[in-house]
């Protein structure tokens, strides 16, 4: 009997040590369906012995990428090791609001006090908290949208070859035809011109504010456009075009001349499988939706991968389709395939304060 009590006591002590050992994990309160995404490195001695990679060396290497003589300037992806991660550039997504718009989200654009959500059924003008104000008139199959410098709104229609212009309050004012072009992605430049993509025709074009075609964008040397999908403009009017099927991102200057090509790498695999939508924040880091696995890859324009983000809200994992970042306020809107739109505040935090789901090392 005494031996049985000793065995029972040992069993209880062992259990208490196990609970104590895992107490740190319990405090995180991570939902069980997310545990599969998280790495287990407790007993991984190789992980503990990884050699730290100095950030400076990697940065120097990226800046000295050589032209291989063939005319192709492809910036290779560079991954940071555990010691090379820049701690002040980890991100957290703080949930601000969310709404389901009932049908697939094709595009989201934001200004200081407005949000436009393009779904498969309508273009909806919303308040900054995603509360709908009005559905825009005269537009069918609104594929993409952009805000002009003067505050007006432009909506391009898939399959109807038209761009509609609206006053800042959402009142329709004019339209123009883009000939046989069926736009899917659109962004505006500071000179008033638009950049439009048509993946079906494998073309990218620049149009003027009056609807006149300015130029056809030539594909980069030794490349052809396979599926040019989304486009976003930088502060200097250069613009990025995601070629989803080619798994590349082409960068053009403000005149539409090719500058270089980025080959984005995912942290979980050797390459991003389906680079879908792209946006950048106030410090120039790029956020790419990889539609194949439903994560957002964060990386520098130079090719250094920072982290992978799995956007969640109240334990609900969002499978992202669209991302849009308002640079002035670092608000981040993520749209899903089934109508979900989540509005986050994008924050850069110290690694010691991480509370988001970071699947960088999984």
Give the CATH number for residue 149.
2.120.10.30
Asked if residue 157 belongs to a domain, the reply is yes
Pairing verdict, β 258-262 and 74-75: parallel
For residues 248 and 221, is the Cβ–Cβ distance under 8 A? no
What secondary structure letter does DSSP report for 355? -
The pTM score is 0.71
pLDDT of residue 59: 31
- On whether residue 1 sits in a domain, the answer given is no
Distance from the Cα of residue 348 to its chain's centroid:
16
Residue 6 lies in a domain: no
Q: Give, rounded to a whole angstrom, the gap between the first and last alpha carbons of the chain.
A: 48
Q: What is the pLDDT of residues 10-30, one digit of tens each?
A: 544 544 444 444 444 444 444
- Cα gap 91→214, rounded to integer Å: 39
Is residue 176 a contact partner of residue 193, using CB atoms and an 8 Å limit? no
Does residue 153 sit within a domain?
A: yes
The pLDDT-based confidence of 141 (bands split at 50, 70, 90) is confident
Average pLDDT, the chain: 75
Number of domains in the chain: 1
**Helical spans, DSSP H, in the chain:** 2-21, 23-28, 45-48, 55-63
- Position 299 confidence tier, pLDDT thresholds 50, 70, 90: confident
Residue 161 covered by a domain: yes
Whether residue 182 is contained in a domain is answered as yes
* 155 occurs within a structural domain: yes
177-214 in b/e form (b: 16+ CB < 10 A) is ebeebbbbbbbbbeeebbbbbbbeeebbbbbebebeee
Q: What is the CA radius of gyration of the chain?
A: 23
Average pLDDT over residues 23-52: 43
Least confident of 161-165, 301-305, 321-325: 301-305
Asked if the structure places residue 249 within a domain, the reply is: yes
Give pLDDT tens digits for 179-209. 888 899 999 999 999 999 999 999 999 999 8
Which residue range is the domain that position 300 belongs to? 73-353
């Amino acid at each position: 009997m005494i031996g049985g009590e000793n065995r029972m006591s040992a069993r209880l002590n062992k259990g208490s040590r196990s609970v104590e050992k895992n107490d740190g994990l319990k405090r995180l309160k991570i939902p069980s369906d997310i545990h599969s995404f998280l790495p287990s490195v407790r007993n991984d001695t190789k992980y503990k012995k990884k050699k730290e990679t100095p950030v400076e060396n990697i940065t120097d290497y990226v800046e000295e990428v050589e032209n291989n003589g063939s005319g192709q300037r492809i910036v290779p992806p560079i991954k940071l090791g555990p010691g090379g991660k820049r701690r002040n550039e980890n991100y957290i997504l703080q949930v601000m609001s969310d709404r389901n718009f009932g049908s697939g989200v094709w595009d989201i654009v934001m200004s200081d006090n407005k949000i436009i959500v393009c779904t498969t059924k309508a273009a909806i003008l919303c308040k900054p908290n995603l509360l709908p104000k009005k559905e825009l008139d005269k537009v069918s199959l609104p594929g993409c949208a952009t805000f002009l410098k003067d505050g007006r709104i432009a909506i391009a229609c898939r399959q109807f070859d038209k761009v509609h212009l609206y006053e800042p309050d959402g009142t329709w004012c004019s339209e123009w035809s883009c000939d046989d072009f069926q736009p899917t992605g659109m962004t505006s430049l500071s000179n008033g011109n638009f950049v439009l993509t048509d993946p079906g025709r494998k073309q990218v074009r620049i149009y003027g504010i009056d609807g006149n075609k300015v130029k056809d964008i030539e594909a980069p040397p030794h490349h052809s456009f396979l599926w040019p999908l989304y486009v976003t403009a930088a502060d200097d009017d250069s613009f990025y075009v995601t070629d989803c099927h080619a798994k590349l991102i082409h960068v053009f200057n403000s005149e539409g001349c090719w500058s270089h090509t980025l080959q984005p790498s995912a942290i979980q695999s050797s390459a991003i499988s389906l680079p879908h939508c792209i946006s950048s924040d106030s410090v120039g880091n790029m956020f790419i939706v990889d539609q194949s696995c439903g994560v957002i890859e964060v990386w520098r324009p130079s090719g250094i991968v920072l982290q992978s983000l799995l956007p969640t809200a109240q334990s609900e994992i969002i499978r992202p389709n669209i991302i849009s970042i308002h640079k002035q306020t670092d608000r981040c809107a993520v749209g899903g395939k089934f109508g979900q739109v989540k509005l986050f505040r994008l924050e850069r935090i110290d690694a010691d304060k991480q509370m988001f789901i970071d699947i960088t090392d999984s």
